[in-house]
Structure 1
Amino acid sequence: MKRVYALLMSVLLVVLSGCGKSSAKQTLAALNENGKSFNYSVVRPKGCADDIEKAAKDIRSRLRKTYGVSVTVSYGEEKDYDGNYEILIGNTGRAESETVLEILKQNRKSCQFDFIIKTVGEKICINALRDEVISKAAEYFAETYCGNKNDWEKLNSATEVIYEAPFKEYPHKIDGVELKDFTVVTVRDMEYIYGRELESTVDYLSGSQGYELKVVDERSPKVKNEILIGDLERSESRGVTPEKDGWIIKAVNGKLVIKGSDSVCLADAVSEFLTQIKEKEKNGSYIDLPADYELTGKKQQSAGRYSLVWNDEFDQKSLNNHWWVDYSSQNKYGDASNSCLGGTLTQKAAENTKMTGDGCLTIFGTRNGKDFTEGSVSTWDTLQLKYGLIEFRAKLPVEPGCGTLWFNGSKLGYACMTEYDLLENFGSAKSFASNLHRWWVQSSGTGHTSLDIPEYSKLKRYNFKDSIDAEADLSTDFHIYTMEWDESKVSFAVDGKVYFSYSLDATENPDSRRLPVYMIMSCGMGSADYGVAATESSPEYVEMKVDYVRIYQRSDNGSQLLTRDNKDIPNYNNRDMTHYVGGKKVS
């Protein structure tokens, strides 16, 4: 084995020293039998980080230039077989990738920044625990072994290189107990507005100190050392109350309570906790919070922070039709199509909504024999937004009910625009899909592209699995569904955790991704060509409940909130901006 001690500076790896053991070695054949292609294909994980993708292609380019032959790059999805020589980058799903990762973990405890390059049979494995380290390892491999034929010949059947990153431990403590021994406890339906700050804290400690803080929801059994985030049923949490427009971090009975008077204040509190950790480490020290520790603060009002700019909590007696009206682009009130049972599916728009006094908006669909109805509401020409963090707290319909939460710019006069689908469950209560559709006007009609392609079909699908209640699905209780959108990226999250992100920078016509859109919510069943098909034994009624819709925006990235109150909703196509509710004119 060869152990490398090095410094990672930006993207450069500088080898300081090394040692090795001699063993029986066999050189690695570079070319296949006919000499027309490279013997090894380069394999990276499906949906890998951009830096890993770039590093994999750099390896291919260097080898192609060195040997003057074709080099294959793949995702390694095909079944493995004897004689399948591969350079495996990261967690490819191959057994060899897992094997070398275990070797790396066993090498030393603090291995978060370490990487390994090892030959295992017909594979050359490059792996690490973190994506950014995998990309650095692949860059090192390209620089060290792919620049010329002599470099490649340094590799052999016994090659094993382990890079041990410089590491300084900071034993952060709360009431005398090290932070790494704490468990973070949140509500089950955590909001991403503060969940993103928790994610940053966990990621930072993982990168800085090499351990992952465990995060659970409050249904999990209590443990001695806990960081309690938000309004929880734990007695220590109930006994702490922040001031209005403020937050508090307080040690109580060996636990650390972090609370805010609202979601933005809670985000500020979690952010402050991370700031303290960073500042201590910057000064070569660590936090050591005493048993009576308490810190309070007020809501921040800075350009780079999110603020709540619009919300509807649905706690009034009737739906606020100042904002929520019929969707007037497609599926208009009264539109009818064939149902999956040979009857009709009729759009009832806002007529199929109700407020029952439970603090929720209910959108519903019905079945009468072979005939169905569907309900929907939108902010069509009442509110449009560009960029922001938008959160819906909702309970999806039972199967085969179809629930949707999405954003559209259709028929606003754009020559090219993007539809953002936060949630389409296609009649399933166990999963849903997110998507981006690009639509444009062309001479032959309407052009269209989406993420319904092999590269993204699995990545954009969310499959629900409750860690505690195996029988639960998305219709059992409420969950938080979030879309965060800015000029360069859109991310989708459930209960405070991102499951899919998509870069907008490298897409075709990126400006079409940066136009204001309106919101739509719908519920129904029975379509002849959409989702799980209903049957004559399907429920006669399905509903989606929405507890609230909240829009947060920053003031530093060109965000916009256009409303009928401000009279700033543009009319590029001279459209009729009359509002309808249940097919009836209201303004």
Structure 2
Amino acid sequence: MHTLLYNCLIMCFLLHITTARAQNDMELVWADEFNYNGLPDPEKWTYDVGGHGWGNNELQYYTEADPDNVSVKDGQLLITARKEQYENNVYTSAKLVTRGQQAWQYGRIEVSAKLPKGRGTWPAIWMLPDLPSLNWPSDGEIDIMEHVGYDPGVVHGTVHTEAYNHMKDTQVGQQIQVSDFNETFHEYAIEWTAEEIRWYLDDKLYHSFTNEGTEAAWPFNKAFYLILNVAVGGNWGGAKGVDENIWPQQMIIDYVRVYQAKP
């Protein structure tokens, strides 16, 4: 019994040292600590706008710079999905992107977030390639965090490529349980190199995806930009319907930090 406990303590210590060493080999290259009030910093964030379903039959209209859907207050970013009529949609929300402002090839991306709850919510922290036009899925997608409200507490980390994507039901992902997802801030992170992408929850490694050496499996050799959004319904988020009595719902972001290898 004592030997087992000792071995567990040694493994935990080594994991802590490994993570600390990985971060010490990197430097902070971009961040938003949200230490201001108002709308998100326009030098860091822009918006995807519209209500056409976004390829997933989603129900929300993403507004642009509307403080009812996105604001920064008391050191936190608030993305709010609401039940309200807007054009042909009955929900509104916001989708922030760093496209056109900043993109990164490799590094560690960290987002501390508290997630919304309820059937029909679909918050996501994810990345797409910074290209003039996108050919999905062959250009790649990195899902740092996704959560669907009908399956509370199950957080997903996934990649989509030409070889591995949900249209073929071949997507490569892993899940981890986060019981207090809507009550406590947790850090959702990836570490991305030329050889591998690794997913972390509060510095705990729970998933990895390795470069197989083919473009169909690994399109992650170019710069990607970051996306923060709360969708409503959709093919996955609305697979078991939408509870009309839970709105508004928020994803609250405490910080976003990007590290890359030191020169």
Q: Indicate the percent of aligned positions where both proteins have the same amino acid.
A: 22
| Change in CA separation of 1:368 and 1:392 when aligned onto 2, cut-off 3 Å | same
What SS does the aligned partner of 1:199 have? helix
2:176 to 447, 458, 462: 462
| Change in CA separation of 1:337 and 1:543 when aligned onto 2, cut-off 3 Å | same
For residues 391 and 316 of structure 1, what CA distance do their matches in structure 2 show?
A: 20
CA distances 1:500-531 after superposition (whole Å, capped 9, x unpaired): 0010134444662111011000013233x231
Q: Do the aligned residues in 1 keep the contact of 2:163 with 2:170 (CA within 8 Å)? A: no
- Given residue 389 of structure 1, which amino acid in structure 2 is its aligned partner? R
CA distances 1:200-254 after superposition (whole Å, capped 9, x unpaired): 64x8xxxxxxxxxxxxxxxxxxxxxxxxxxxxxxxxxxxxxxxxxxxxxxxxxxx
More helix by share: 1
For residues 500 and 536 of structure 1, what CA distance do their matches in structure 2 show?
A: 31
For residues 515 and 482 of structure 1, what CA distance do their matches in structure 2 show?
A: 19
TM-score normalised over the length of structure 2? 0.79
For residues 217 and 259 of structure 2, what CA distance do their matches in structure 1 show?
A: 23
For residues 380 and 343 of structure 1, what CA distance do their matches in structure 2 show?
A: 21
CA distances 1:19-56 after superposition (whole Å, capped 9, x unpaired): xxxxxxxxxxxxxxxxxxxxxxxxxxxxxxxxxxxxxx
- Tell whether 2:36 aligns with 1:320: no
Report 1 or 2 for greater relative contact order, CA contacts < 8 Å, sequence distance ≥ 6. Answer: 2
More strand by share: 2
| Structure 1 counterpart of 2:236 | 530
- Given residue 221 of structure 2, which amino acid in structure 1 is its aligned partner? R
For residues 229 and 16 of structure 2, what CA distance do their matches in structure 1 show?
A: 33
For residues 326 and 414 of structure 1, what CA distance do their matches in structure 2 show?
A: 17
For residues 346 and 424 of structure 1, what CA distance do their matches in structure 2 show?
A: 19
| Structure 2 counterpart of 1:394 | 113
TM-score normalised over the length of structure 1? 0.38
1:544 to 240, 251, 260: 251
Alignment of 1:143-542 (within 5 A): 180=6, 198-199=14-15, 201=17, 267=20, 305-318=25-38, 319-327=40-48, 333-337=49-53, 345-351=60-66, 352-356=69-73, 358-368=74-84, 371-400=90-119, 401-409=121-129, 411-413=131-133, 416-427=138-149, 428-438=151-161, 448-452=162-166, 460-464=174-178, 472-509=179-216, 512-527=219-234, 529-532=235-238, 533-535=240-242, 537-542=244-249
How many residue pairs were aligned?
A: 249
Which runs of no fewer than 5 residues in structure 2 stay unpaired? Answer: none
- Given residue 106 of structure 2, which amino acid in structure 1 is its aligned partner? Y
What SS does the aligned partner of 2:15 have? helix
- 1:476 Cα deviation from its structure 2 partner: 1.4
| Change in CA separation of 1:545 and 1:200 when aligned onto 2, cut-off 3 Å | closer
Runs of 4+ with deviation above 6 angstroms:
181-184, 453-456
**Greater Cα radius of gyration, structure 1 or 2:** 1
| Change in CA separation of 1:505 and 1:399 when aligned onto 2, cut-off 3 Å | same
- 1:323 Cα deviation from its structure 2 partner: 0.8
| Change in CA separation of 1:390 and 1:541 when aligned onto 2, cut-off 3 Å | same
- Given residue 334 of structure 1, which amino acid in structure 2 is its aligned partner? G
